[in-house]
Homo-oligomer: A and B are copies of this chain.
């Protein structure tokens, strides 16, 4: 049996798709992570084009081991958001380089792959096939948002995206608030940036006035901000959320 390669889970910056994207990646990812990324010849990703852009940014800090054109990049099958179960998935094909002995990288569009992002099925397939899995250090917007919120960081749940349709979203918000109250658990969610203002409006309308809501916008970017305040105070001055920058929403019932 050939010795297997390792599947490396490579964090991306949190700045992809923002105007801050040209910042030096070395400022935002550890050198050890960049060094591993620079030597991988095989990648699985959400989007080949942005992965090539990532590798160019890596190359500016740590020279790539070979020419970019010779790096094999394969895209994950793309399921609809929140339904990772319904895309066709051929783990053996995606893992082929690792099964043949080469190290393989998995990367997503922002932050850690397989957290709030596709990729978990590939990781599960790797475990099933006896391929070693190593997650490289880098930031995830979820834990950064929990830290910056000042809410309960000893117990929190990441619940992904809420339903898009208003009635379902409102019911889900009330259900999460009741869970938060019962378990003293911070509830953390994300939204596609252009829907940030709508989600904020729904949270302000549905949550109890004493519940504390924290919104982190543009984490790790130069203009990042986190506001943590009671719903009562948010309602008095709701402000406006940008609709083109990623945000993370968390709340804790009081």
Contacts and interface: CB of A to CB of B under 8 A. Distances in A.
Interface string A105-128: 000000011111101111111110
Nearest to A214: B127
A173 interface: no
A53 interface: no
A137 B9 contact: no
B123 A148 contact: yes
Contacts of A55: none
B157 A14 contact: no
Interface in A117-173: 117, 119-127, 132-140, 142-160
A9 B185 contact: no
Contact of A31 (B27, B121, B157): B27
Contacts of A35: 27
Contacts of A27: 30-32, 35
Contact of A228 (B32, B127, B152, B220): B127
B139 A138 contact: yes
Contacts of A26: 30-31
Given A135-B148, A139-B138, A144-B135, A114 B153 contact: yes
A202 to B, nearest CB: 19
Contacts of A150: 114, 120-127, 133
Contact of A137 (B28, B142, B156): B28
Nearest to A13: B137
A219 interface: yes
A92 interface: no
Q: Which of A113, A133, A143 has the most CB of B within 10 A?
A: A143
A153 B31 CA distance: 25
Interface in A8-30: 9, 14, 26-30
Smallest CB-CB A-B distances: 8 pairs: A124-B150, A123-B150, A27-B32, A137-B139, A140-B143, A157-B157, A135-B148, A127-B228
Interface of A: 9, 14, 26-32, 35, 82, 84, 112-117, 119-127, 132-140, 142-160, 185, 216, 219-220, 224-229
